[in-house]
Amino acid sequence: MKKHKNQSADSKDKIFDRIFKENAPSIFMPIIERRYGIDVTSYEILDTELPRTIGRRVDFFCKITRKDGTEELLHIEFQTGDDYEMVERVGEHHAIMLRRHRLPIRHIVIFLGKGKSRMRTQLREEEIYRGFDLLNISELDSNKLLSSQVPEEIILAILGNYDEEEVEIILRFMVRKLTNLPITDAQRNKYIQQLLLLSKLRNLTDIVDQIIEEMDFTYDYTQDIYYKRGIEAAQKQIEQEREKARQEREKARQEREKARQEKIESIRALLAVGNFDNVQIAGIMNVTEEFVEQIAKSEAE
């Protein structure tokens, strides 16, 4: 079966992601310290898994057009009690809405409880997302990386800044330095494997292959971790994807039910206020009038 182009690209990206994730502390922590002047005394690796959804739907969401023709999004949440994570929750909604619709967004939370809400309504200055710093690996000085004694930094030099005429000299120096480092053969094989994979990002695989063959260095391709585990990993990934899809279907079902219950609670709160009729509540909550009437009837009983 012919592999889809996007599937091939995704698989390639996963291999490179694996290299950089594995080497991140050794490579990028020192680079980030030097580049941004951050004095890191310690760090703790945190869970990198992010939820595919934020676990709940918004209460009301629409696009409005002003008199002058400008458009913006209006997002409304109804709260019967204080939610002290509300400002962060709305922030999660904001990121998803902005990415999808690319329009200015106005967020409003309507508090239906007794008295005055004490929820925080604004993010602190240090919590506000304004963008990110961009670090181009191709701008890093390859000579500085090659002067390191850290193998992860040495192999990164293949992606750095150097004259194209010097590429073979740099690659030979890189392989020779990896050969002479005081590390085990297993470690050296791992870094050569990673160097070969990284060489694909600069279309240098043929040159790296040739240099390895010419130099006094034994590299067993059959021991390559990706070579040995290719079929096994593919089968395992298929099984994992199937299980993941099953779990996601179940999670989506639970989320739909949770969203339904939350909507019912919001409708009950609006009914309790007494300032809205069934038609108005149906419009606010984006449900049918019959649905509101069913909840009103159950409340009366």
Which residues on neighbouring strands pair with residue 64, listed in sequence order? 72
Query: Buried b / exposed e across 254-279, counting CB within 10 Å, b at 16+?
Result: eeeeeeeeebbebbbbbbeeeebebe
- Summary mean pLDDT of the chain: 81
pLDDT digits (tens, 9 = 90+) for 30-40: 788 888 888 87
For residues 155-169, give the mean pLDDT. 89
Cβ atoms 125, 148 nearer than 8 A: no
pLDDT digits (tens, 9 = 90+) for 166-187: 888 889 898 888 888 888 888 8
What is the percent of the chain where pLDDT is above 90? Answer: 16
Cα–Cα distance measured from residue 30 to residue 161, given in angstroms and rounded to the nearest whole number: 18
Per-domain residue ranges for the chain? 5-40+135-223, 60-127, 227-300
Whether pLDDT at 5 is above 50 = no
Alpha helices in the chain (DSSP H): 5-36, 86-101, 142-146, 151-156, 167-180, 185-199, 205-214, 225-273, 278-285, 289-300
Strands in 60-65's sheet, in edge-to-edge order, are 60-65, 71-79, 105-111
187: three-class secondary structure by DSSP: helix
Q: What is the pTM of this model?
A: 0.55
Cβ atoms 254, 260 nearer than 8 A: no
| pLDDT of amino acid 139 | 92
Whether pLDDT at 91 is above 80 = yes
